[in-house]
Amino acid sequence: GGSIINFSSISFMMADTGYVTYITANAGIVGMTRTLAREFGADRIRVNAVAPGWVLTEKQKDLWVTPESLARHLARQCLPDPIQPDDMSGTVLFLASDASRMMTSQTLILDGGYISSSTMVHKLPRPGSPWTGERRTCAPGRWVRPARCWRRPVQRTAWAS
């Protein structure tokens, strides 16, 4: 038996722009985790992943964190505290321990609730739109309104014959 713990990121759930390679790689790690769990399960090797949000490592602080960006990010988390590197250790120790003996093929999200309260703001409604508030995407081609998603109406063109 044993335990393999992969690291991904919540980025693959967000469909953000400018990070195609990074997002694709993180989605691949989740797929690999699930596949390896099936491959190695017969040998009682558990394979899981951790997908953290914005962990404030020294590199993050040196290169990208500004007071404004951190405030915006924390405002979108359910838990309004920055994720520290030490916050990862309990999750990893749990996955490595016998407490997770029957847990495999899972990805644990450690993001302070960012994903559950965060959808990418698309644009504000046009004047006269039935929308109130911000438009938010929840999946390609879908819009979010409180507590549900639905398809955006498709513009159909009538072709003359």
Residues noted as catalytic: 22
Q: Tell me how long the chain is.
A: 161
Alpha helices in the chain (DSSP H): 20-40, 58-63, 67-76, 86-96, 114-117
* CA distance linking residue 81 with residue 36, whole number of Å: 34
Burial class (CB in 10 A: 0-12, 13-18, 19+), 145: middle
The pairs formed by 102-105 with CB atoms below 8 angstroms and a separation of 24 or more are: 103/46, 103/48, 104/37, 104/41, 104/46, 104/47, 104/48, 105/33, 105/34, 105/37, 105/38, 105/47, 105/48
* CA distance linking residue 20 with residue 4, whole number of Å: 26
